[in-house]
């Protein structure tokens, strides 16, 4: 898949060496050790939880009005990923800016049914478009253009902030800053630096990279949170067990402790919370669809096949791996206990078959950020509220590469814990 025309980035590069080079630019800031020690990541998390999400839920609880959490979760995860990319002063703020959230998601979701040509044959799509043949509706291109323009504006705002052209507030633009510095280093290594400003091509290349981070980070974690809420809302006893575990944090994530968060390491180490997240990723994987790979130049057997020649597209999918009955008994059941009530050998086997984030060199670079935000959000919500279902009539997952609920909504009641 490409963004901003035919420009290739980490997500769309086929060859291993350029992909690895791009991934090395960013892997450090997405590592668990960096995330868990980053003051910026902790402050970003605190602000999003205590200044945006929890007050929004509390307002609905006071009014005794239901909350449509599917769209809100997309807003929440967008705020997390955009603040990590661009800093809090330039993030999306989609939890509070409902009008812009709806507009952006209208662009974003409207493209889904027309993604085949753009994803699989982007160059052919462009060639046909230039001669007046549209393989996808014109409004899809218009929606893509709106999203790209939004992203470019974010990049320009951050660049102005870094250069001192505008006042900076909030947290450091971690990913943008890392990518920016890496590009400048690459430019210096290739010859004398004659200028400090980025060219239009370099700006677009950075924006192309970050646009895919925005989409991937918002989509997958938004769906995951929705299914965590759904499963927890069907199980009040599990909510009580989780709250008991959450109260062991110091400080707790109750709103009275809004000035300080428990450490990322302590939240990550909670066994029941971890089991709930892992089982949701297994049973309700946001990306159950096939993940394409290209065989290496040397003929190589794959999963017991005869040696396959180089350049052959193959794929595997989390949906099938997560439903291996020999590894996950009763695979269609959502049972967090399977990650708790098991011996070391069985847990290792489950982890070998767990593929929510892929594996190997093409594994999701943002997996640690996803676990960070999903765990903190779940912990914060169930430290302060109980949830119950108002309407879950459309929760069956769609048969698609990215699989949200068919009804595209989940109505829940949030009740403040006294």
Show the tokens assigned to 320: 């099938």
Q: What is the pLDDT of residue 346?
A: 94
Q: What is the pLDDT of residue 91?
A: 96
DSSP 387: E
Looking at the predicted structure, is the pLDDT value of residue 167 above 70?
A: no
Query: How high does pLDDT run on average in the chain?
Result: 90
**pLDDT > 60? residue 193:** no
pLDDT reported for residue 381 = 98
Q: Which of 105-119, 251-265, 294-308 has the lowest mean pLDDT?
A: 105-119
pLDDT of residue 136: 85
Which residues face 412 on adjacent strands?
67, 389
Which of 286, 203, 287, 245 is CA-nearest to residue 379? 245
In this prediction, residues 161-172 reach a mean pLDDT of 74
CA 193-195-198 angle, 5° bins = 105
Tokens matching residue 22:
């791009």
> Residue 53: which of 334, 356, 258 has the closest Cα?
258
- List, in sequence order, every beta strand (DSSP E) within 191-334: 290-294, 313-317
pLDDT digits (tens, 9 = 90+) for 52-99: 999 999 999 999 999 999 999 999 999 999 999 999 999 999 999 999
Task: Using pLDDT thresholds of 50, 70 and 90, give the confidence band for residue 197.
Answer: low
d(CA 370, CA 228): 14
Query: In this predicted structure, what is the pLDDT of residue 68?
Result: 98
Which tokens belong to 13? 């590069």
Could you give the CA distance from residue 152 to residue 15 in angstroms, rounded to a whole number?
27
Confidence category of residue 323, pLDDT binned at 50, 70, 90: very high
Q: Coil, helix or strand for 224? A: helix
CA-only gyration radius of the chain, Å: 22
The answer, yes or no, to whether residue 106 has pLDDT greater than 50, is: yes
Contact call for residues 144 and 187 (beta carbons, < 8 A): no
Q: What integer is the mean pLDDT of 243-267?
A: 96
Mean local confidence (pLDDT), 330-357:
95
pLDDT-derived band at 239 (thresholds 50, 70, 90) equals very high
Beta-carbon-side half-sphere exposure of residue 100 (alpha carbons within 13 Å): 13
Q: Reduce the DSSP state of residue 355 to 3 states and report it.
A: coil
What percent of the chain has pLDDT above 90? 65
Q: What 3-state DSSP class applies to 386?
A: strand
User: pLDDT-derived band of residue 410, with 50, 70 and 90 as boundaries?
Assistant: very high
Decide if 242 contacts 349 (C-beta within 8 A): no
**Based on the number of CB atoms within 10 Å of its own CB, is 171 exposed (0-12), middle (13-18) or buried (19 or more)?**
buried
Distance from C-alpha of 392 to C-alpha of 396, rounded to nearest angstrom: 9
Distance from C-alpha of 170 to C-alpha of 261, rounded to nearest angstrom: 17
Mean pLDDT of 167-185: 84
Average pLDDT on 44-48 reads 97
- Which comes out higher in pLDDT, residue 86 or 168? 86
Per-residue pLDDT tens over the stretch 366-375: 999 999 999 9
Residue 203, pLDDT > 50, answer yes
Higher pLDDT, 379 or 164: 379
| More confident site: 67 or 111 | 67
Assign 5 a pLDDT band (cuts: 50, 70, 90).
low
Could you tell me which of 129, 150, 224, 212 has the C-alpha nearest to residue 175? 212
**pLDDT (0 to 100) of residue 7:** 56
| Residue 345 CB burial class (10 angstroms; 0-12, 13-18, ≥19) | exposed
Where do runs of H (alpha helix) occur along 318-415? 318-321, 344-353, 367-384
Structure confidence by residue, pLDDT tens digits, 8-43: 677 777 777 877 888 888 889 999 999 999 999 999
Q: What is the DSSP string of 364-384?
A: -TTHHHHHHHHHHHHHHHHHH
Cβ-based burial of 91 (10 A; exposed 0-12, middle 13-18, buried ≥19): buried
Give the pLDDT mean for 156-185: 83
Write the DSSP assignment of 80-128 as a string of letters.
HHHHHHH-GGGS--TTT-HHHHHHHHHHHHHTGGGHHHHHH-HHHHHHH
Query: What's the pLDDT score for residue 2?
Result: 54
Share of the chain residues as helix, strand and coil, in percent rounded to the nearest 5: 60, 5, 35
Residues forming a β-bridge with 316: 291
Place of tokens 């991934």: 23
Q: Which of 69-73, 296-300, 391-395 has the lowest mean pLDDT?
A: 296-300
| Position 1 pLDDT exceeds 60 | no
């Amino acid at each position: 898949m490409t963004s901003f025309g035919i420009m290739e980035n980490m997500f769309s590069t086929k060859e291993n060496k350029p992909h690895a080079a791009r991934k090395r630019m960013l892997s450090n800031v997405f590592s668990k050790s960096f995330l868990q020690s980053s003051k910026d990541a902790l402050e970003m998390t605190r602000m999003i939880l205590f200044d945006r999400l929890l007050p929004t839920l509390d307002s609905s609880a006071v009014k005794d009005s239901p909350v449509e959490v599917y769209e809100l979760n997309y807003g929440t995860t967008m705020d997390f990923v955009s603040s990590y990319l661009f800093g809090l002063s330039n993030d999306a703020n989609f939890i509070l800016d409902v009008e812009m959230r709806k507009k952006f998601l209208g662009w974003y979701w409207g493209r889904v049914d027309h993604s085949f040509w753009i994803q699989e044959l982007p160059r052919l799509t462009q060639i046909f478009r230039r001669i007046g043949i549209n393989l996808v509706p014109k409004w899809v291109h218009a929606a893509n253009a709106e999203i790209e323009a939004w992203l470019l504006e974010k990049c320009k705002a951050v660049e102005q902030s870094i250069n001192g052209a505008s006042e900076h507030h909030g947290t450091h633009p971690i990913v943008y800053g890392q990518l920016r510095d890496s590009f400048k280093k690459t430019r210096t290594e290739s010859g004398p630096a004659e200028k400090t400003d980025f060219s239009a091509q370099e700006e677009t290349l950075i924006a192309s990279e970050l646009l895919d981070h925005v989409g991937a980070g918002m989509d997958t974690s938004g769906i995951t949170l929705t299914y965590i809420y759904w499963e927890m809302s069907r199980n009040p006893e599990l909510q009580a067990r989780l709250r008991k575990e959450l109260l062991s944090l110091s400080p707790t994530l109750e709103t009275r402790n809004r000035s300080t968060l428990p450490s990322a390491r302590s939240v990550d180490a909670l066994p029941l919370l971890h089991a709930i997240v892992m089982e949701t990723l297994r049973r309700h994987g946001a990306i159950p669809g096939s993940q394409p790979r290209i065989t290496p130049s040397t003929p190589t057997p794959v999963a017991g096949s005869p040696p396959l020649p180089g350049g052959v597209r193959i794929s595997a999918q989390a949906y099938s791996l997560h439903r291996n009955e020999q590894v996950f008994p009763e695979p269609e059941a959502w049972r967090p206990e399977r990650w708790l009530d098991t011996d070391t050998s069985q847990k290792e086997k489950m982890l070998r078959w767990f593929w929510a984030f892929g594996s190997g060199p093409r594994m999701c670079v943002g997996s640690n950020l996803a676990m960070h935000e999903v765990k903190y959000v779940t912990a914060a919500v169930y430290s302060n509220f109980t949830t119950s279902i108002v309407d879950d009539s459309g929760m069956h997952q769609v048969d698609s590469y990215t699989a949200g609920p068919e009804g595209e909504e989940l109505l829940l009641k949030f009740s403040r814990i006294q």
